[in-house]
Amino acid sequence: MPRPAVVARARGRILTMFSGDPDGVPGWVRALETGDDEGWFGPDSAVWAVHNGTPTIVAGIRALLMQTLHPGAMAGVHDHSRYREDPLGRLSGTVRWVLTTTFADRAQAETGCAWVSRLHERVRGEYAGPDGDAVAYAAGDADLIGWVHCAFADAFIGSHETWGGPVPGGSDQYVREWATAGRLMGMADPPRSRQELDDAIASYLPVLRRDARVDEAVRWLRDPPLGRGVGPVYRILFAGAVASLPARYRALLGLRRAWWPAITLTRVALWGMRTVLGPESSSMRYTRMRLDRLAGARADAASDSEPTR
């Protein structure tokens, strides 16, 4: 059995990596307790079932791999992101957006999406097109908003299909619900079924490409500076993310499945992370506190409205 001190250190490293706080309760997590409604999805939703699971850890890697294939998205990351200097800061920012959109009340979810959109306002520039001509890009372009939404949705549901449990309503229901996040981020017509999502991603194939910037990003994603305590487990998760990708996108990235059983070992690694982190995340704990408060207020209101005898 691992010693309690070893487990505590590992837990602190993991929570810092994903939330920026060794206890997993930064201010934005505590804010999930506040608000006046269940949020855009709710406890019985497909989105909650998917985003409350540890496969989302692999989904983050898979989404970033996919996003690199769009030259506009890759240029934005290359020109504006600080992922090399502050990899954990970028990761925790993405986690904050996903969990706030998923679990917070509607007002906080909308504010969180607006916050990300404001950050993206300065993300613009040019990249070399296939003929060498300069192509202008901006993170707020409909094309890029759609690509990022689809890459995230595909990564979340694809990873859950590989390592997660049942989803209420299945994969179609998840895509249909998570379309709300696409709309909040400015996407006009997000896909609403698994097939529509697959078709939407395939529609980008004429644009997707691998170049030196993609290779640089993939090399970094393969071995980011996470330290000895986390690095070995991360490498398993990276291999799992690669193995879970559809073959055509794996080939576009110039990646191959590991010779060893990456899917199985990733399942073991995720089980180990669940054991270390405990049965309920801090984000879910604070969200349930909000739901319990709202349920209590409804019960009190119903009791007050009953006629006296």
Helix or strand holding residue 128 (H, E) = strand 124-128
In this prediction, residue 289 carries a pLDDT of 96
The 10s digit of each residue's pLDDT in 72-85 is 999 988 887 766 65
Whether residue 307 is predicted with pLDDT greater than 80 in this model: the reply is no
- What is the number of other CB atoms lying within 10 angstroms of the CB of residue 28? 21
pLDDT at residue number 108? 96
pLDDT at 1 over 60: no
125: phi then psi, degrees, rounded to nearest 5: 165, -150
For 164, the 3-state DSSP assignment is coil
Rounded average pLDDT over 178-191: 96
As given in the structure block, the two tokens for residue 33 are 């307790």
| Residue 239 pLDDT greater than 90, yes or no | yes
Instruction: Note the pLDDT tens digit of each residue in 204-231.
Output: 999 999 999 999 999 988 988 776 667 7
pLDDT digits (tens, 9 = 90+) for 56-67: 989 999 999 999
* pTM beyond 0.75, yes or no: yes
E strand or H helix at 138, and its extent? strand 134-138
- What pLDDT, in 10s, does the model give residues 118-172? 988 888 999 888 877 888 999 899 999 999 999 999 999 999 999 999 999 999 9
- The tokens for 106 are 């509607």
Comparing 187 with 94, the larger pLDDT belongs to 187
Measured distance CA(6)–CA(201) in Å, rounded: 42
CA dihedral of residues 191, 118, 85, 211 (deg, nearest 10): 40
- pLDDT value of position 101: 96
Position 231 scores a pLDDT of: 77
Burial level of 90, CB count in 10 A (0-12/13-18/19+)? middle
Report the pLDDT value the prediction gives residue 161, as an integer from 0 to 100: 97
Residue 238 tokens read as 């990276």
Q: Determine the pLDDT at residue 254.
A: 96
Instruction: Please state, rounded to an integer, the average pLDDT across all residues of the chain.
Output: 88
pLDDT tens across 28-52, in order?
Answer: 899 999 999 999 999 999 999 999 9
Diameter over CA atoms, the chain: 83
Decide if 151 contacts 63 (C-beta within 8 A): yes
Report the half-sphere exposure of 178 (CA within 13 A, side-chain side).
31
Answer yes or no: are the C-beta atoms of 241 and 58 closer than 8 Å. Answer: yes
Burial of 105 (0-12, 13-18, 19+ CB in 10 A): buried
* Integer angstrom CA distances of residue 238 from 6, 16, 49, 96, 217: 23, 19, 23, 21, 13
* DSSP conformation class of 33: G
Q: What are phi and psi of 136, to 5 degrees?
A: -75, 145
